[in-house]
Chain A
């Protein structure tokens, strides 16, 4: 079955830049999406279609795509950005099959 691979954890200091990667064989042809989830809350979409930012999401959140990897970048990380981040995409099977990455726990030191 298709998988998206993320690092399980990452730590950054406030004001630094966090880059979270997500790798999958279908990503050159399928869009990547990113969600932020804080404990006890529903996920929040922070990036869609690789690099688009929904209204209301701070400009410090950005996305990019290169080959089989999509990347979520958070510039000037703030304490409130501490959360789990999940990438999401679909495979190339031709059927609708949504896959999430395993998630990356971002800790702000």
Chain B
């Protein structure tokens, strides 16, 4: 069974930081490009970032460029998203998924508020 377990969300003040994690099991993690997708409360899905299977290539949506960093540790089957300089508009449920979209985590909530 394929499982993606997101974690690391929480309540943080504006300007703060968080690191999200996604532990993957049931697939050959190294062969999958991975993505992060977020969803603000009551809103639609927004792509955030992606990373190649070997971790050498990363891509970002314009609203998070320069603030968020996607990375992976293939020895631990784990995907990360470092969130820096957080803003109120970053408040959302964050999902990890493989780039093909057929496997998703359950999401981890990030709330940015003073």
Residues of A within 8 A of B (CB): 1, 33, 35, 37, 42-45, 48, 54, 84, 86, 88, 95-103
B interface residue count range (under 10 / 10 to 19 / 20 to 34 / 35 or more): 10 to 19
Minimum Cβ distance to chain B for residue A46 (Å): 10
- Chain B positions 19-56 with a Cβ under 8 Å from a chain A Cβ: 35, 37, 44-47, 50
Residues of B within 8 A of A (CB): 35, 37, 44-47, 50, 59, 61-62, 95, 97, 100-102, 104-107
Cβ A102 vs Cβ B102 within 8 A: no
- Most chain A Cβ neighbours within 10 Å, of B35, B47, B107: B47
Q: Known contacts A42-B106, A98-B50; decide if A88 and B44 are in contact (CB<8 Å).
A: no
Q: What residues on B are CB-neighbors of A84 within 8 Å?
A: 44
Minimum Cβ distance to chain B for residue A106 (Å): 14
Q: Known contacts A96-B59, A97-B59; decide if A86 and B102 are in contact (CB<8 Å).
A: no
Cβ A42 vs Cβ B61 within 8 A: no
Q: What residues on B are CB-neighbors of A33 within 8 Å?
A: 101
How would you classify the secondary structure of chain A's contact residues: helix, strand, loop or mixed? Answer: strand
Bound together, the chains give a CA A87 to CA B113 distance in angstroms of 31
Q: Known contacts A1-B62, A43-B95, A45-B101; decide if A100 and B106 are in contact (CB<8 Å).
A: no
Cβ A88 vs Cβ B107 within 8 A: no
11 A-B pairs within 8 Å (CB atoms) are namely A42-B95, A42-B106, A43-B37, A43-B104, A86-B44, A88-B47, A88-B101, A98-B35, A98-B61, A100-B37, A100-B47
